[in-house]
Each structure stands twice: as C-alpha cells, then as structure tokens.
Amino acid sequence: MFQNEGLRTYNETLFQVMDSALAIARDSGVRVIIPLIDWWTWRGGIEEMARFRGKSRWEFFTDPDIRSDFKDLIQRIILRTNTITGRMYKDDEYVIAWELGNELGGWFGMPLPEWVLEMSAYIKSIDPNHLVLDGAFAITQQLGALEGGLNNQFFRPLDTKLDVYAKSGVLASPNVDMFRDHYYVSNDDGDFSRRAQSAVAQLNPAGKAFAVTEFGFQSSTVFADLLNTISNDVRMTGALLWSLRSHGYSGGYYTHLEKDSWLSYRLPGYTVEEGSPADEISSDGLIRQFAWKIQGLDPAQQLLPRPQRPVLLPLSTASNIRWQGSAMASKYALARASVNGTADAAPANLQWNILSTTISDALPLPFYKDTTAQCGMMHYFSMAAQSDGGWSEWAAAQRLVEACPAAGWEDGVAIPWEH
C-alpha cells in the first residue's frame, strides 16, 4: 500500500523498487510470496485505503467502492510489466503466491469470507497460474468473539478462524489454494508444532497447502521442534523466520526492535555481546540446517558460500573506517599500505600489512579505529570478508592522507601481510 499516493493513484518509483526486488530474487533463485496489502499501518494499509473513501478500517471489506479500488490495485500489480526483466508479474515463476493481505483482521478478527471468495476469484480471473493465499492468521485459535462483527453469520463462540472458513465455503473454494499462520507466543517447547499440526489436520482433507510464514521471539529449542515437525510432514510447505535484516548502506546492519528485547536476526549470527538477540547463532544455524534438509541435502556436507568482497566507504580519517558488509560473512580482515608523502603510489609498489583478521560488523554502525596510521602519510586500505566457505577477494582500496593531530597520537605495530 505504500505505493498508493491517493485514490487509484500509484507511485511509479516505488513500483520500480519492486521490479528490482523481483529481478534480484530471480538472479538469486529466491521465490517470494507477495502480500497485496497490510492490515497494519507500518507502510500504509487497509485503514489508509479506506480513508481515501472516508470509511473505517472494517468497511474495507464491505464497501463496494473500496472493493473496486482494491481490485484496481490488484490489477495494477499482477498485470504490471517488470521494467528490468520485461516479464509481467503474472508470468513471473519466482512469485509463489499472491497473498490477499498481511495478517488481515489482526489477532481477533478476520476478513469477511465473502470478500475472500470475491477477491480470490478476481485474482484467478487475471492470473490462473499463481497460488492465492488468504491472509488471516492465528487461524487455529479458539475465540470467544470476533472483532469487527463481520462474521456473525458463520461464527459461533469457541470457533477458530478455520472453522469460519469451513462453514462459509472458503476451504472448499478452488480459488484459495494456501493458508498460513504466524507463531510468536509459545506456552511450551512444543506449542508451535501442535498449532501447525492442528492446522494441517483441517486443511489437508480440503486439499489446501499450509505454511508458517512468520515465526520468532522464542528460543532455538522451540524453533527446532517446529522445524522438525515441518520437515517430517509432507503436508506442511515450510516456515520463515521473522525477521532477517540486511547489511546497511552506510555500514553495519539495518536492525529493528521487534518486541521487548527481541531484535531482528542477522546472518550468519552473532553473540549477545555483539548486540544480537538471544540464541541468534543457534537459531540461524537451525534455519540453514533445515533449509538444506528439506532439499534432501546433508547439512553436515554444506558450507556457507564464499562471501563477495565488502565495499570500503570513503575515508576521512583512519580512526573511523567503515564498510558495506558481505552477506554470510562472520568476520573481516583489514589491510593497510603506507607511503611517505602525499603523492599516489603505483599499486605494484605498495607493501601491505594486515591490521586485523577478526573485525566484526555486528553493530548497527561499526567502525574500525586504526591507531597505527602515521599522520602526514598516504595510506591505502583494503578489506576482505570470511565465512566458513572461505575468504572473499580484497575490496577496492580507499586512500587517505591522515591529518596530524595536535597531540596524543599513538603509534602501533602492523603485521606483515602474507599473500
């Protein structure tokens, strides 16, 4: 919804960002589920679309004008031609499914069944080749009442959302292929697994796929129980950890405080002392092991890929060396070559020295302080990244003439660099 600028008015620049994301997914062999709208207001969602018509959030499901607006958005997305790949979205095999929306109805509500039937049928009419996912969550949770008052025709106290879908014909619809849930609150180590088993027990006889498309905020013990259940049950499609964040453009990682002390995850995992959520290394390791296992590969025989080389950012002082990190890298090496004077030196004449091989970029904006770079000299810096698949190539060098401070400069000793 963040691409909406007004009533049926869309931001082409942001659509091109989506084009880029799908192109990268294709190049990386990653398949994606695309929610068409969000229940929440993080980046614009149902409430904002309803507001364009002067309506409330729950009227999104009932107002005929808003229903028509949402179909216009669906058509714009699915029939869009990617400006990078040249493919229409509806023909992109790296899209697994169109999700009617993210967490529709929140914890204690759900989309109107007749709305689900109408929108799923509309999607199939313009794109019969992709799966359609309903978008509700907490689908096996027994409820005393439903927020929004939209489902009284089918809902009875202590029904689950899947019960409502069964009675309303959504489970029987050929246009809704897949259901999912999100797991965060766990009563014990096996709670996630029991909920997943309860869901597939009801969905499998109806011929519907099921996946846990978000889980988190628990220990790796809870995760291991869920992932064991999924990998051993062919009725379950898979599970996705919430959430993994990427390296930042200005160095370090983008991060997010998800809940209480739970931070977003980073690969390949870091310690609590490095600012990571509890159990991150174990949790990340579990995800990799089960990703290999579900593909029929022996996790013991798999290594993380050799990382691409990092990118050193322009330097203003040797006391603040920053870099764009490499995916899957656990540590970095930094090298320096120094020459007298301030004139450039021929690369072949540079004598490089290793400053460190144990640098981490776990902090949001990490930096390395080189206290051994003598002032008034030309210094060249380069960096390499390491995973258990090996070391990357060395980064393109950045050069710097270190200014001389007024006082207090500390000299150090560099270690010869062996190629």
Are residues 342 and 247 part of one domain? Answer: no
Are residues 232 and 358 part of one domain? Answer: no
Distances (CA, A) of 398 to 318, 334, 343, 395: 11, 12, 14, 9
Q: What is the CATH number of the domain that holds 161?
A: 3.20.20.80
The reported pLDDT for the residue numbered 24 is: 96
The reported pLDDT for the residue numbered 149 is: 62
- Domain-terminating residue out of 273, 301, 329: 301
The reported pLDDT for the residue numbered 405 is: 66
E strand intervals along 19-91: 32-35
Tallying the residues shown for the chain, one arrives at: 419
pLDDT tens track for 35-90: 999 999 877 799 999 999 999 999 999 999 999 999 999 999 999 999 999 999 99
Q: Is the pLDDT of residue 240 over 90?
A: yes
Mean pLDDT of the chain: 89
pLDDT tens track for 341-397: 777 777 677 899 999 999 999 876 778 999 999 888 899 999 999 998 999 999 999
- Domain-terminating residue out of 301, 333, 354: 301
Residue 306, in any domain of the structure: no
Over residues 398-415, mean pLDDT: 59
Confidence of residue 171 (pLDDT cuts 50, 70, 90): very high
Residue 38, in any domain of the structure: yes
- Domain-terminating residue out of 301, 328, 346: 301
pLDDT tens track for 123-138: 999 999 999 999 999 9
Confidence of residue 118 (pLDDT cuts 50, 70, 90): very high
The reported pLDDT for the residue numbered 152 is: 66
Q: Count up the domains in the chain and report the number.
A: 2
Confidence of residue 188 (pLDDT cuts 50, 70, 90): confident
Are residues 324 and 285 part of one domain? Answer: no
Q: Is the pLDDT of residue 419 over 50?
A: no
The reported pLDDT for the residue numbered 409 is: 37
- Residue 78 near residue 14, CB atoms below 8 Å: no
The reported pLDDT for the residue numbered 146 is: 81
pLDDT tens track for 289-308: 999 988 889 998 888 889 99
Are residues 354 and 332 part of one domain? Answer: yes
Burial of 303 (0-12, 13-18, 19+ CB in 10 A): exposed
**Which domain does 326 fall in, by range?**
311-416
The reported pLDDT for the residue numbered 415 is: 34
- Residue 384 near residue 310, CB atoms below 8 Å: yes
Q: pTM for the complete prediction?
A: 0.87
